């Protein structure tokens, strides 16, 4: 199903528009700017817009996410779209089934963490892209950690190839147990393993399952044994003594993850894809897979390399596809829907702006391209014109951007305070 976006123009269309507006006799060679350069100028404009709207507490860019909390697990990954991975506004822990049954966690420092287990954490700190809860919770609760944060904008990038398929072998897991009288983890698959999976292979395990300690990790496997209809293998160096029994949905796949690209031209939109892939994909560290509207399917794929002969994109050996992204990717493969690879860990082909804001962004890019043609220092008039366009762009963005601000309950009533959370909105 096609999803309408407020910003309906791809970076290709906006770049072509900017080039047309730059075209005049004095600056005709502006058309010589390659796609990568023009794209960077557009992203420069977006970054300056973002700086402007973040100078105030702008509710248009405050988002919320909810995640599960697991017993004895202290660290939780911060989402990709949190600005600088640190711009967290509010953290709440739900200790009961009602929305008012929460505590607001205070931000602390690493050295101030408590080590004893508890039902309800009281503080959090941030380190290396993770949020660390303190004290460590000793119970598992679904959807109990709620975070409001400052959302960053996606980088604009060109389509650099159609994603045809995943080349890595994969399958579902039927059971994860411990070999009797040992601490060795034994994995049973739902089907016979392909010949490419042998002792010493590296596999990734992902899904939504217990034991959670195995989720989103890679392992060297041993003792591969094939039976009728299924196979088993052990995870090298994994001690399962304190693991919970297996439950949920789990998948294995052979590392490294590889994607097959193709460059079949079905319209003028696809003409430059192969050249754009060759110019970038073997020179960058991250890639994103999106649909035809720029909506993300898989973010932050760490790249090992790209083969311009076979059109194979290879991820780093320890990469594990996030489970929710995997489900979306599988659906697109099954439905034979179009997917595209982009450069960057958090990218889109489409802006997150409306049409009027896009026009102002194009106007800014035109001014920058024309100024960059000159070897002279920018004039005051040029700088003033760019600043004026950015001001108008920020105003336009604030006016159109839909703001869905959830009710944030306070930890107090008008007449009484409660350590464990207020009894309603204040």
pLDDT tens digits, 155-193: 999 999 999 999 999 999 999 988 887 888 889 999 999
Is the pLDDT at 132 greater than 80, yes or no?
A: yes
- pLDDT for the residue numbered 157: 92
In a shared domain, residues 296 and 309: yes
Residue 225 belongs to domain spanning = 169-254
Q: How far is CA 50 from CA 55, 116, 154, 350, 398, in A?
A: 9, 41, 11, 16, 11
> Own/partner pairs for 106-114, CB < 8 Å, 24+ apart?
108/134
In a shared domain, residues 74 and 147: yes
Q: Check which CATH number belongs to the domain holding 242 and give it.
A: 2.40.30
Instruction: Name the domain boundary from 93, 120, 153.
Output: 153
The dihedrals phi and psi of 28, each to the nearest 5 degrees, come to -60, -30
CA distance 55 to 44: 17
- 391 falls within a domain: no
Q: Which helix (H) or strand (E) holds 170?
A: strand 170-178
CA distance 279 to 277: 5
Tokens of 389: 């366009």
- pLDDT for the residue numbered 253: 92
Contact 110, 129 (CB under 8 A): no
What pLDDT, in 10s, does the model give residues 363-417? 888 888 887 776 667 788 888 888 899 888 888 887 766 554 555 555 433 334 4
* Entry pTM: 0.80
Higher per-residue confidence, 292 vs 241? 292
Tokens of 361: 């962004």
Query: b/e per residue, 383-394, with b = 16+ CB within 10 A?
Result: eebbeebbebbb
Of 83-87, 279-283, 390-394, least confident by mean pLDDT is: 83-87
- pLDDT for the residue numbered 57: 55
In a shared domain, residues 111 and 71: yes
Contact 151, 61 (CB under 8 A): yes
- 105 falls within a domain: yes
- pLDDT for the residue numbered 4: 46
The closest of 87, 64, 89, 55 to 152, measured between CA atoms, is 87
Instruction: Name the domain boundary from 126, 153, 180.
Output: 153
- 3 falls within a domain: no
- 120 falls within a domain: yes
Counting the structural domains of the chain, the total is 3
What pLDDT, in 10s, does the model give residues 293-346? 889 999 999 999 999 999 999 999 999 998 889 999 999 999 989 999 999 989
């Amino acid at each position: 199903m096609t999803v309408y976006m407020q910003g309906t123009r791809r970076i290709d269309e906006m770049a072509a528009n900017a080039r047309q507006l730059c075209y005049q006799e004095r600056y005709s060679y502006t058309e010589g700017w390659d796609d990568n350069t023009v794209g960077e100028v557009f992203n420069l404009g977006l970054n300056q817009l973002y700086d402007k709207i973040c100078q105030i507490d702008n509710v248009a860019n405050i988002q919320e996410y909810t995640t599960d909390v697991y017993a004895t697990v202290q660290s939780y990954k911060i989402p990709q779209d949190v600005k600088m991975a640190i711009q967290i506004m509010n953290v709440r822990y739900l200790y009961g089934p009602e929305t008012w049954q929460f505590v607001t966690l205070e931000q602390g420092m690493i050295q101030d963490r408590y080590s004893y287990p508890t039902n309800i954490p009281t503080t959090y700190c941030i380190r290396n892209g993770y949020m660390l809860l303190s004290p460590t919770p000793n119970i598992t609760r679904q959807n109990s950690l709620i975070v409001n944060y400052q959302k960053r904008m996606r980088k604009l990038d060109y389509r650099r190839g159609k994603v045809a398929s995943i080349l890595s072998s994969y399958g579902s897991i039927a059971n994860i147990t411990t070999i009797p009288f040992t601490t060795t983890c034994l994995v049973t698959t739902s089907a016979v393993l392909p010949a490419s999976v042998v002792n010493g292979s590296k596999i990734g395990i992902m899904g939504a399952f217990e034991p959670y300690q195995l989720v989103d990790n890679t392992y060297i496997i041993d003792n591969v044994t094939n039976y009728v209809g299924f196979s088993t293998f052990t995870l090298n160096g994994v001690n399962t003594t304190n693991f919970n029994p297996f439950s949920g949905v789990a998948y294995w796949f052979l590392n490294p993850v590889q994607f097959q690209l193709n460059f079949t031209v079905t319209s003028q939109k696809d003409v430059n894809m192969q050249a754009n892939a060759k110019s970038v994909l073997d020179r960058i560290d991250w890639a994103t897979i999106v649909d035809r509207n720029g909506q993300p399917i898989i973010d932050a794929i760490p790249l090992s390399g790209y083969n311009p002969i076979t059109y194979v994109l290879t991820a780093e050996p320890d990469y594990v596809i996030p489970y929710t992204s995997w489900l979306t990717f599988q659906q697109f493969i099954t439905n034979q829907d179009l997917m595209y690879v982009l450069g960057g860990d958090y990218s889109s082909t489409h802006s997150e702006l409306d049409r009027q804001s896009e026009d102002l962004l194009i106007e800014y890019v035109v001014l920058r391209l024309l100024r960059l043609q000159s070897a002279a220092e920018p004039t005051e008039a040029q700088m003033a014109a760019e600043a004026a366009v950015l001001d108008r762009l920020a105003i336009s963005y604030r006016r159109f951007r839909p703001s869905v601000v959830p009710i944030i309950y306070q930890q107090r009533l008008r007449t009484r305070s409660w350590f464990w959370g207020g009894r309603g909105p204040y």
